[in-house]
Each structure stands twice: as structure tokens, then as C-alpha cells.
Structure 1
Amino acid sequence: MSDDTLFAKIIRREIPAEIVHEDEHVLGFRDIDPKAPVHVLFVPKKAVATLDDIQPEDAELVGRMVLAATAYARAQEFARDGYRVVMNCREHGGQSVYHIHLHLLGGRQMTWPPG
């Protein structure tokens, strides 16, 4: 995987982003094209292109992404009302940046099925 993706550049601070979470493994920042009042992306600092590229040794990393997102939802006080977590895989799944990322969407009623 290339370390030259948009998200890799954000992680390296080469492109500005509104960062709302950072730890040793995960960076969280607001989506520039939000689909809900709260739309934050959580990305691993380790470059992994797609969900299909995740290896068994990445299980803890993916768990850390989920834990960061749920902690953010609780801290921002919208967890009680509910939220959605989405990970897309490749073109037909809606993935546009080939660096895995988790979308946290909240602040409104979500509908089903999604688009």
C-alpha cells in the first residue's frame, strides 16, 4: 500500500484536518463532506489499504479504532441517542481512500437501508 494517500498525509500533518482524537495507534478527524451533524473518521496510523488487507495481527488495531469511535460518541454525549459506524471496502462498497477508516455518524436519525 502506498503511504501517499490523503489519510497518510493527514496523519503526517502534511494536509490540515480538524483532529478530534489522537493516540499512539489511531487518529480521528472530522469528515470534510459530512453526511450527518457528527461525521468523524477514525484511521489507523498503520497503512492498510482495504478491509480485505487486514491480517490477524491487525485485530487489536481495528478494535482500537472502534473503541476510539465509541469513546468519542460517549464524550460528545450523542451515544445515548445512537449512532452509526461504517467501514467501506473497495469501489462497490463505497471506499474512496485506500487506507482503512471507520466513519462515525451521529446527531440525527439514521435510515435503513443506506444508499
Structure 2
Amino acid sequence: MSALCPFCAITPTAWVGENDLAFAIRDKFPVRPLHTLLIPKRHVQDIFETTPEEREALHQLALERRSAIRGEDPDVQGFNFGSNIGEAAGQKIFHAHLHLIPRRPGDTPPPPARPND
């Protein structure tokens, strides 16, 4: 645990879900309503430094939160799910975390896929 890490300082009362190795919170600056962060309890810089057990715990928590979000908002029809790794990729807090971003009809669409040239 890092004393300077904002994720390490989050108390369990702010968690919206947890298991033995990970916890979930609502994003403080959500891209969309119900935007959720999935965070390993152990302080580790990025998702590539997590153990296989931590990755599985994060995945299980993602499945649980996906169901919960759909229960809270039946308009949710999809999700963006991923992680920014490193400053060049936009990582702002250097404690591994995954974004689970609910998507609804009418949201600003994600960038289109580009065909192979």
C-alpha cells in the first residue's frame, strides 16, 4: 500500500463491490453514468504487474458489476472495458485499474474500426 496512492486511501465504505483480491468503486470523473473502476487491493502499478489470481478476481468482479449495472439501468446495451497503461497511454493514477464503462443508445459513439489497408 502506498500512502500517496489515492486508490490505496479509499475506504471500504466507498466500495460498490469486492472480493478477496479486488474492489470496485464508481469513477470520480465518469465518462458515462455508472462508470466503474475495478482495482486490485494490492498496490501494483499496472495491470501487467498483477498476478493471474488478481486478474481472475478483477474479471469476476467485472462480471458481477456488469450485472449490477444492467440491473440499475436497463438502457445499458454495451460496455467499454479496459485499462490505460503508462503515462503515454493516458494512465493518471499509477495503481492498476480497469474501467467498466456502460454504453447506451445515443452515447457519443466510440471511434470506428479502420479496415486493413
Asked if TM exceeds 0.5, the reply is yes
Partner amino acid for 1:9?
A
C-alpha RMSD of the superposition? 2.7
Paired AA for residue 22 in structure 2: V
Counterpart of 1:26?
22
* Aligned-partner Cα distance in 1 for 2:82–2:75: 15
User: Structure 1, unaligned stretches of length 5 or more?
Assistant: none
1:31-70 matched pairs, under 5 angstroms: 31-56=27-52, 58-70=54-66
Structure 2: unaligned runs, 5 residues or longer: 113-117
CA pair 75-45 structure 1, distance change in 2 beyond 3 A: farther
Residue 104 of structure 1 aligns to a residue in which SS? Answer: strand
Q: Shift in Å at residue 113 of structure 1?
A: 2.1
Of structures 1 and 2, the larger Rg is shown by: 2
Confirm or deny: 8 A CA contact 1:85 1:104 kept in the other structure: yes
Identity of aligned residues (%): 29
Size of the aligned set, in residue pairs, is: 109
- Name the aligned partner's letter for residue 78 of structure 2: G
TM-score, normalization: structure 1? 0.72
**Alpha carbons 2:14, 2:25 under 8 Å: kept:** yes
Normalization by structure 2: what TM-score? Answer: 0.71
**Which of 77, 89, 93 matches 1:93?**
89
Structure-1 separation of matches of 2:45 and 2:32: 25
Q: Which residue identity is paired with 2:8?
A: A
Match of 2:7 in 1: 7
| Amino acid corresponding to residue 66 of structure 1 in structure 2 | A
Note the C-alpha offset of 1:89: 0.3
**Alpha-carbon distance in 2 for matches of 1:48, 1:110:** 32
Instruction: Determine the structure 1 residue equivalent to 2:115.
Output: none
State the Cα distance separating 1:59 from its structure 2 match.
3.8
